[in-house]
Every structure is written in C-alpha cells, then in structure tokens.
Amino acid sequence: MLTVAEAKEIILSAARTRPPCDKPLSEALHGVLAQDVTSPIDLPLWDNSAVDGYAVRAADLTGAGENNLIHLRVTAEVPAGRSANVKLEPQTCMRIFTGAPIPEGADAVVMQEDTRPHHEGYIAVIESVDPGENIRRAGDDVTKGEVVLRAGILLGPPQLGMAAATGLAQLAVYPRPRVGVLVTGAEIVEPGRSLHPGQIYDSNSFALSAFVNEAGCETVELGIADDTREDLHEKIDYGLSECDVVITVGGVSVGEYDLVKDVLTELGCEQKLWKIAMRPGKPFVFGTRGDKLVFGLPGNPVSAMVTFLLLVRPALLKMRGLTGIELPSVSAEVTEDFVNSGDRPHYMRASLHQDGDRWRVRPMPRQGSHVISSIANANSLVEVPEATTIPRGQIVKAIRLSGNE
Ligand code: AMP
Ligand code: MG
C-alpha cells in the first residue's frame, strides 16, 4: 500500500494548469496570474499635489511664520482633472487640489491649513516650505516597464487595483478547473425528501462541493448514481466530457457493489493508484484520462472529507496555478493523549484552540469514519503514526480543516 506522501506525489505529478486566458479585471478576483505584469506607464504619471493648498515657489516663502506673514497673489486654480496652462510667476501662487498636476514654475505646495485668506485675490502664508514639499513625483510609485505583479500570485482586491491603476483592463490568468462531483449508492437520497427503509441522506455532495468551491474551483453537480455499471458509466462519462476533474464518492471498496474502479477502466481511464495506508480513507482511487483527473473517494463522510483535503485539494490548487497548496497548520501542545493502536497512520479529528499565545489541541472523542458530527465539531487534523501514542505535553502539527482560517 502507498503512503500518503507517495500517493500525493503521484497525484501532483498529473495535476497541471490549463493554458491561461485573458480575463477582464471584474472577473479576475481569486484567479492566479499566469504572466508577470509590467506597467506601461509611470505612476504617478506626472508630478502632482499631495494636499489641497497652493502651488508656490519655495524660495518665495523663506522665513514665513506667524510673525512674518508672506502675501502671495493667487493667479489661477488647478482642480484635479485639469492642468494649469500658464507658468507660475515669482511672488504668486495657484490654488491647487489633491491629485492636480503641479504647474510649471512651482516647486512646492503649501497646505491650505498653513494659509489664511487675505484681501481680494491674495493669501497670507504662515509657514515656509522646502522645495518638493507636498509634491508626489512622477514615477515615485511605479516606473514605466517595472514589474508590478508577479506570475503565480493570487489576485486579490489590491492586485486588481494595481493592474487597473496602470491602465490594464484584463489579465492573463489560469482558468479555474471545473470539478464534477458524483455521489454513488442506491441508498443515497437528496436532503429534503422522505426516506424509505434503508435509505440515508446524501451528505457527501454538499460537503465536497463546498470544499471544491473553497478551493477556488467551479463545481459541476453530477448527481447521484445508482450502484449499477450502466448508471455509473453514463454519469462518469458525462463528467469526463464536461469537467477537468471528476470526483466520485463511494463504491471504491471491495464489495460487489463497488463498481467505480471497473467503470473507470471501461471508460479508458488509467488507474494510477488504489488504496493508501491511511485512516480514515484506505480505499481511494486515482486515475487519469488524457489531462483529466478522476478521484474515487470512499463513501464514509469523514473518509471522503479527509481524503479530499489531503489528496484532492492540493491537486486542485496546483491546477489553479498556485504554489502554496498545503492546508494551513500550526504547532500546538497536546492536552489529551492521541492514541492510534492501528497499523496505518491515523489522521485524527481534533479540536484546536488558542490559549494566550499558545495553541492547544485535543482529539475528538469519537473517531469512526461514519461519525460526521465529530468532523463537524472539529477544526483540525493531527497525523498520528501507526501504533503510536502522542502524549499530553507534546508539540504536534495541527492541520486546519479549511484553507480560509
Ligand atoms: P461505500 O464507500 O459506497 O461502500 O460507502 C461507505 C459508507 O458511506 C456507507 O455506509 C454509505 O452508505 C456511506 N455513504 C456513501 N455515500 C454517501 C453519501 N453521499 N452521503 C452519506 N453517506 C454516504
Ligand atoms: Mg456505496
């Protein structure tokens, strides 16, 4: 049986980005940038005022103070969006507003707060200024040709703002993978309906679709397949034609109704691995058809979620173009023993909390792979090697259950 690390390596080597496409900025949030972005212009584009005030020649205000008011004639007004079409003459000033271009001849701006209105058409200045004061210089933020966004970054609001400031209307991003989720099992019923004897509600498609969305991918609901070759064949075939990745849940174990593996072979998928030394989640299939990936997850809800987080999520993030593909984790002190008497590493659900500046973690009391309430009340996983007890007081790595924490 493969270890989790071996399985992950096989999976990641098959997970690749799709060719990038140009997206308008309004659709590029959470996309991953495929190319460096260089600015076609200087930012600011020209010298401009950092304040509302008066554009001046600093030399005209030498020695200005409360007891030495210097009077300047106001010759023009320069609001943002316009520029002065005359030169500033000595002993004069121009009214100027934040962001407006500095008129020719001016070398500083006096803040409005350091002036008083004087008689008609004049101001009195009560503070001197240094040359350059309150001027934002052209190219001070970004110079033309400079790389402002690096390939591989995740585009968040500030990065979109940066691109827009340079005048770019679209960015080359990797397409978000389309991920089909198919649950399988004759007993599975959509929530909201009534149950007949032997039936249970489908929890996996909701949890997994939400995880897929959280991983920044698009979910395609493929529905619920019966445990028959025909139904599985039809639904997986459809998924492979529509999606970059297909995730099936259930039917990958060794029972007579566990037909997913056979159907994948029928559909021309190459099986890359089956069975991983881990708990929960030993039965797990991974295959490829061309550049499409297929994951067959075990049906028990906890197994499905844990295998998704440890083995599928990193592949989806890699396909999005990201390099940081691991779930966040913290070092935490164990407050109750973690006991694994089994022969496979156990990813135990755990409760992690911060106590002052320390993190503390304890196992959830029930670890059965059907105990969905214990993953719903947990917020982390702790890997406990086979036949091992991690005692109180030890420091362990607690893996968060969500990439958003
Ligand atoms: P399987 O892997 O198909 O043998 O399923 C293992 C266990 O998980 C069985 O008890 C199933 O009833 C349960 N199960 C499978 N699929 C789902 C699902 N979508 N929602 C809830 N439980 C499921
Ligand atoms: Mg089943």
> Mind listing the pLDDT tens digit for each residue in 215-229?
999 999 999 999 999
Beta carbon of 195 within 6 Å of any ligand 1 atom: no
Work out whether the CA dihedral 148, 150, 155, 158 comes out positive or negative. Answer: negative
Extract the tokens encoding 277: 């030394």
Beta carbon of 280 within 6 Å of any ligand 1 atom: no
Mention every residue, 6+ apart, whose C-beta is less than 8 A from residue 387.
340, 341, 342, 343
How would residue 405 be classed by pLDDT, with cut points 50, 70 and 90?
low
What pLDDT is recorded for position 92?
A: 97
Average pLDDT, the chain: 96
Answer whether 0.75 is exceeded by the pTM. yes
Q: Smallest Cα–Cα separation from 180: which of 296, 283, 267?
A: 296
Query: By alpha-carbon position, which residue is closest to atom 14 of ligand 1?
Result: 299
**With 90 as the cut, is the pLDDT of residue 126 above it?**
yes
pLDDT one-digit tens code per residue, 205-262: 999 999 999 999 999 999 999 999 999 999 999 999 999 999 999 999 888 888 999 9
What pLDDT is recorded for position 256?
A: 86
**With 70 as the cut, is the pLDDT of residue 107 above it?**
yes
Q: Cα of 185 to ligand 2 centre, how many Å?
A: 4
**With 90 as the cut, is the pLDDT of residue 89 above it?**
yes
What pLDDT is recorded for position 137?
A: 97
What pLDDT is recorded for position 119?
A: 83
- Summarize the confidence of residues 39-67 as an average pLDDT: 97
- Summarize the confidence of residues 261-290 as an average pLDDT: 96
Question: Which ligand has the shortest distance to the CA of 248?
Answer: 1
Question: Percent of the chain, pLDDT > 70?
Answer: 100
pLDDT one-digit tens code per residue, 164-206: 999 999 999 999 999 999 999 999 999 999 999 999 999 999 9
Question: Which ligand has the shortest distance to the CA of 304?
Answer: 1
How would residue 85 be classed by pLDDT, with cut points 50, 70 and 90?
confident
SS3 101: strand
Q: Cα of 216 to ligand 1 centre, how many Å?
A: 26
Beta carbon of 299 within 6 Å of any ligand 1 atom: yes
- Summarize the confidence of residues 391-404 as an average pLDDT: 94
Element at 86 (helix H, strand E): none
Preceding amide of 131 cis, omega within 30: no
- Summarize the confidence of residues 55-59 as an average pLDDT: 98
HEC readout, 310-356: HHHHHHHHHHHCCCCCCCCEEEEEECCCEEECCCCCEEEEEEEEEEC
Q: What is the dihedral of CA 238, 231, 258, 378, to 10 degrees?
A: 60
Q: DSSP letters of 206-275?
A: HHHHHHHHHTT-EEEEEEEE-SSHHHHHHHHHHHHHH-SEEEEES--SSSTT--HHHHHHHTTPEEEEE-
Work out whether the CA dihedral 322, 28, 293, 186 comes out positive or negative. Answer: positive
Counting from 1 in the atom list of ligand 1, the atom nearest the Cα of 203 is 20
Question: Percent of the chain, pLDDT > 90?
Answer: 94
Counting from 1 in the atom list of ligand 1, the atom nearest the Cα of 202 is 20
Extract the tokens encoding 1: 């049986």
pLDDT one-digit tens code per residue, 324-383: 999 999 999 999 999 999 999 999 999 999 999 999 999 999 999 999 999 999 999 999
Beta carbon of 202 within 6 Å of any ligand 1 atom: yes
Beta carbon of 298 within 6 Å of any ligand 1 atom: yes
